[in-house]
Structure 1
Amino acid sequence: MENIKHHIDDQLLAAYSSGALPAPYGLVVSAHVSMCDECRARLGAHDTAGGAVMDDLPPIEVSGDLKAKLLEMLDEPAQDVPTYERSGIFPGPVMEALKGKPPKWKHLGFGTRQCILSHGKEGSVRLLYIPPGQAVPDHSHNGLELTLVLQGSFSDEGGQFGVGDVEIADESDEHTPIAGPECACICLAATDAPLRFSSFVPRMLQPIFRI
């Protein structure tokens, strides 16, 4: 996809390549990589480097029992794993998280909606629907937030973000994202801790909406 200006940084790509990135962030990275030729190529470089490192590691002896169990597993019939392709604005990884079904939106107020894809100890990942010109309440962060634009655009103190762009925000950032005027902004957002809202009402509603 052309015109992507905001990419995943190398630290996150390396963590994703090694399998060390928490699942909520992994979904955002995999969705972005499916849309971005540049980051897909960079991820391939990380995968190649990781494979070279593994090839240079000394062999490790394993017990005969472990080897026998592994060989038994290889003899077991392979299970069919469903594959999901892009549907409309939603990349394949997002369709997998949705299990191939449309999002189930829940209203947050003022036309804004969300669909929580997962929520647990590692963090949460959700789809957000923000009407044209609508602002998300001013907030900062208790951790890391990755936001991938799937439709429309938004702008905040960090710049303007269009389809395929990823905003990376942490504890040092405070912002008020505003959806662009052209259409509703639909984003995929992952966090590992609750947001810090500046005003009272959003803070009061946080436990209900799990944001």
Structure 2
Amino acid sequence: MNAITHHIPDQLLAAYAAGSLPKPFALVIAAHVSLCDSCRAGLAAHEAVGGAVLEDMATAPVEADVKAALMAMLDGPEAAPEPRAAKRRGVYPGPVMGALKGRAPRWKKMGMGVKQCILDAGEAGSVRLLYIPPGQAVPDHTHGGLELTLVLQGSFSDEAGRFGVGDVEIADQEIEHTPVADEGLPCICLAATDAPLRFNAFVPRMLQPIFRI
């Protein structure tokens, strides 16, 4: 793997450690942290600080039904994915394999060789795998909210630079870009958004409802 040069900002690591991120973003961060020694150390530091704060807090009795409900939330499908799972299947880190339930992605064609596999979608946003052939571009767009894109295979380039395996691009309403998959292996990315993309061209806008992007 090439050296990772685009990392998760500290404030997002802190939010992940606190458990306050929506599930789509939490999955991207968990997958990145499983690949990145630097961000894994940063996350451990935030967790240590949070643990120290909890130890200093005064304790109070918790009713049995409240405790049961809390444990159910922690064990349920909305719990943040575990970032330290080292096992991989092909290019997919442990947290992604967990979202795939151990199966291969079920790709759906989007045209021009591009494919996607939606892993989760709801009110909090969506997270999907994208497969982009070498040299193929994602249409020029900006964003209605926040987008995190983690590269799992190959690389892509846009106005912000080049992003290789393990790198994360963070885009928001201020960013307008046209990502293009570099030559070599097809680019496979894990992308999370909390609002629809804003395409500049007419055809992509017409297809948005179909592809749920």
TM-score (norm 1): 0.90
Q: Using the TM superposition, give the Cα deviation of residue 60 of structure 1 relative to its aligned residue in structure 2, in angstroms.
A: 2.1
- Structure 1 stretches lacking a partner, 5+ long: 74-82
Q: Using the TM superposition, give the Cα deviation of residue 2 of structure 1 relative to its aligned residue in structure 2, in angstroms.
A: 5.2
Write out aligned runs for 1:75-90 (5 A): 85-90=87-92
Aligned partners of 2:2 and 2:165 also within 8 Å: no
Q: Using the TM superposition, give the Cα deviation of residue 160 of structure 1 relative to its aligned residue in structure 2, in angstroms.
A: 0.5
Distance in structure 2 (CA, Å) of the matches to 1:15 and 1:2: 27
Q: Using the TM superposition, give the Cα deviation of residue 58 of structure 1 relative to its aligned residue in structure 2, in angstroms.
A: 1.7
Structure 2 residue aligned with 1:179:
181
- Structure 2 stretches lacking a partner, 5+ long: 72-84
SS across alignment from 1:102: coil
Distance in structure 2 (CA, Å) of the matches to 1:196 and 1:188: 19
Q: Aligned partner of 1:180: which letter?
A: D
Q: Aligned partner of 2:113: which letter?
A: G
Distance in structure 2 (CA, Å) of the matches to 1:159 and 1:57: 45
What is the RMSD of the two structures over their aligned residues, measured on CA atoms? 1.7
2:114 to 112, 115, 130: 112
Q: Using the TM superposition, give the Cα deviation of residue 61 of structure 1 relative to its aligned residue in structure 2, in angstroms.
A: 3.5
Distance in structure 2 (CA, Å) of the matches to 1:53 and 1:127: 37
Distance in structure 1 (CA, Å) of the matches to 2:176 and 2:49: 36
Aligned partners of 1:84 and 1:96 also within 8 Å: no
Write out aligned runs for 1:1-211 (5 A): 3-63=3-63, 85-211=87-213
User: Which 4+ runs in 1 deviate beyond 6 A?
Assistant: none
Q: Which has the larger radius of gyration?
A: 1
Q: Deviations over 1:114-137 (max 9, x none)?
A: 000011011000000000010000
Q: Using the TM superposition, give the Cα deviation of residue 85 of structure 1 relative to its aligned residue in structure 2, in angstroms.
A: 2.8
Aligned partners of 1:152 and 1:185 also within 8 Å: yes
Q: Aligned partner of 2:15: which letter?
A: A
- Provide the identity percentage: 67
TM-score (norm 2): 0.89
Distance in structure 2 (CA, Å) of the matches to 1:29 and 1:51: 20
